[in-house]
Structure 1
Amino acid sequence: MLYEYFFGLLITFVVLLLAYAIRILREYERGVVFMLGRFQKVKGPGLVIIIPFIQTMEKVDLRTIVMDVPSQDVISRDNVSVKVNAVVYFRVVDPEKAIINVEHYYEAVSQLAQTTLRSVLGKHELDEMLSERDKLNQDIQEILDQSSDTWGIKVSNVEIKHVDLDESMIRAIARQAEAERSRRAKIIHAEGESQAAAKLTDAAVELSRNPNAMTLRYLQTLIDIAGEKNSTIVFPLPVDMLGSIMEQFKSKGS
């Protein structure tokens, strides 16, 4: 009876040892193996054998991790307070560094992303935050990638999701946009008036060079006015034009 008891304990112990010693790693997983506390090698994927009590293994996921950066209070260079959140895409490219050089690489990247987001955006004005997101994303990504390189981390992309403003700032931006539209409309109107005046000046110079052309222009204007069915038409004629017409009549009479 005692023999059967010890035999059962032995079987249980062997099963537990095999369960500890045999590890199955998926295609996207790697195992960082330590021998008596010292780094030995990176194993996987597939079947991995671990010597019980002598070797230990830490699993690392190599897939791209999508990490949401919590909303951060940022004060822009022009002293505007906004709340900004972002998303960071990164993955482990060196499992050895990710386990040995940093305690928890996910938490480390999260804290680094938050401080970098505040630091980079604080150097820019609000208009740049709203209109130059691609450039800001690139700047943040480069800083994160460089800083996390010693942890075996590759930051592939950073995207700023929202820049939240308070109601007073939204109203101020709306007033600014309205003033900008009004300014542009006035500039366009002034440019149109300037071009029209220049064309009229050119036309007046051209007509002054040819008295007959001026006469034809007046007659054409008279025809246009007559077509409007007016009962009375007052049409001023310059003295020099009257003289020209009289001279033409005299030449015909003679």
Structure 2
Amino acid sequence: MMANIDTDIVVMAIWGIIFVIFLIKLFQSIRLVPTKSAYIVERLGKYHATLDAGFHALVPFVDKVAYIHDLKEETIDVPPQECFSSDEVNVEVDGVMYISVVDPVKSSYGVTDYRYAAIQLAQTTTRSVIGTLDLDRTFEERDVISAKVVEVLDQAGAMWGIRVHRYEIKNISPPETVKNAMEMQVNAERERRALLAKSEGDKQSKINRSEGIKTEMINHSEGEMQRRINEAEGKAEEIITIASATAESIERIATVIAAPGGKNVVRMQLGSQYLKQFEGLSQSASKVVLPGNLMDFEHWMNSVGLDDKN
């Protein structure tokens, strides 16, 4: 009797365990796939389906989620590695690449570990590209190195189900001795540029000073020339004005002389002025001054046509 009871208990325990396992498998067969994720389902060890975002129910004990892939872009650090440039300088280079899974099936079955494979391929490609460049150009040609690595990774990524968006070199570290030599070279170049800039400044300063002196001399000479022109024009205007006034006075005298009795008037005016001249001389010398021959004035009047007969 006791043996039958024990047997029943064992059977019930076994069925209980089976039921629990069935429940666990049943719950495991229900899958909620998040956005930008992909689940690879195998049925009896063979690829069956790829589950996209949403609710999915699997067949318990038959279907199994073998791989889970995140489809978002991810960042992978490329560890530092030693590379030799074409001029035999050892440099240490590290970088970072940005990749995403575009084909979950190939990412699962096309390569064992696509992240590790991408890192190794990026390192070997970087070494190959740097080996073709001089040390100085490695700092200048970072874009070329990155573009070459992306090109090679894209070719391999097509088989691995991944896409390489970008590859950036973070650091290029030469040996300490090379760093010191490069710093000395940079300092020498900086000093050369400073001396060149100073000499150019001195040269420009002298040019500006000479241009200023030249402009000053030109302005002074132009001012002097203009002053002389103005003086000449003023004198010319003065002469023209005096000539015009003289001509006008002569015309008026001629008009007066031509009038009836005009000659007598002019004769009397000139005689009066003639005698006033001697009067001035007498006053200045405190003596009486008389002309030596009053007939000389009469002869002059006749010679100019102002005789009383006319």
Give the TM-score normalised by structure 1: 0.69
Shift in CA distance, 198/49, structure 1 to aligned 2, threshold 3 Å: same
What is the alpha-carbon distance in structure 2 between the residues aligned to residue 43 and residue 136 of structure 1? 38
Q: Which of residues 43, 54, 68 is equivalent to 1:35?
A: 43
**How do residues 23-62 of structure 1 correspond to structure 2 at under 5 angstroms?**
23-57=31-65, 58-62=67-71
Q: Which amino acid aligns with 1:39?
A: Y
What is the alpha-carbon distance in structure 2 between the residues aligned to residue 6 and residue 185 of structure 1? 91
Q: Which residue of 2 aligns with 1:114?
A: 123
Q: Which amino acid aligns with 2:32?
A: I
Gaps of 5+ in 2: 1-7, 213-217, 225-310
What is the alpha-carbon distance in structure 1 between the residues aligned to residue 192 and residue 119 of structure 2? 45
1:154 to 2:163 alignment: yes
Q: Which residue of 2 aligns with 1:88?
A: 97
Shift in CA distance, 47/180, structure 1 to aligned 2, threshold 3 Å: same
1:86 is paired with a residue whose SS is strand
Deviations 1:46-95 (A, max 9, x none): 22222234333221111222111111101112221111111111110110
Q: Which of residues 99, 102, 110 is equivalent to 2:108?
A: 99
Please report the RMSD computed on the Cα atoms of aligned residues, expressed in angstroms.
3.1
- Give the superposition deviation at 1:196: 8.6
Select the structure with the greater relative contact order (CA < 8 A; seq sep ≥ 6): 1
Q: Which amino acid aligns with 2:190?
A: R
Q: Which residue of 1 aligns with 2:189?
A: 180
What is the alpha-carbon distance in structure 1 between the residues aligned to residue 15 and residue 124 of structure 2? 59
Q: Which of residues 69, 73, 87 is equivalent to 2:78?
A: 69
Q: Which amino acid aligns with 2:142?
A: R
Give the TM-score normalised by structure 2: 0.58
- Give the superposition deviation at 1:176: 1.4
What is the alpha-carbon distance in structure 2 between the residues aligned to residue 56 and residue 120 of structure 1? 44
Q: Which amino acid aligns with 1:177?
A: V
1:22 to 2:30 alignment: yes
2:17 is paired with a residue whose SS is helix
What is the alpha-carbon distance in structure 1 between the residues aligned to residue 90 and residue 14 of structure 2? 71
* Kept in 1: contact 2:126–2:145 (CA 8 A): no
* Percent identical residues: 33
Q: Which amino acid aligns with 1:163?
A: I
Structure whose alpha-carbon radius of gyration is higher: 2
2:76 is paired with a residue whose SS is strand
Q: Which amino acid aligns with 2:85?
A: S
* Kept in 1: contact 2:80–2:94 (CA 8 A): yes
Q: Which amino acid aligns with 2:24?
A: L
Gaps of 5+ in 1: 204-209, 217-254
Q: Which amino acid aligns with 1:64?
A: E
Segment drifting more, 84-93 vs 138-147: 138-147
What is the alpha-carbon distance in structure 1 between the residues aligned to residue 41 and residue 178 of structure 2? 55
Q: Which amino acid aligns with 1:69?
A: V
Segment drifting more, 146-155 vs 192-201: 192-201
Deviations 1:119-173 (A, max 9, x none): 2222222222223323332332222222222111111111111112222111110
Task: Report the count of equivalent residues.
Answer: 212
Q: Which amino acid aligns with 1:126?
A: L
Q: Which residue of 2 aligns with 1:221?
A: none
Shift in CA distance, 200/97, structure 1 to aligned 2, threshold 3 Å: same
Q: Which amino acid aligns with 2:139?
A: L
1:130 to 2:136 alignment: no
Q: Which amino acid aligns with 2:122?
A: A
What is the alpha-carbon distance in structure 1 between the residues aligned to residue 191 and residue 18 of structure 2? 89
Stretches of 4+ moved more than 4 A in 1? 185-203
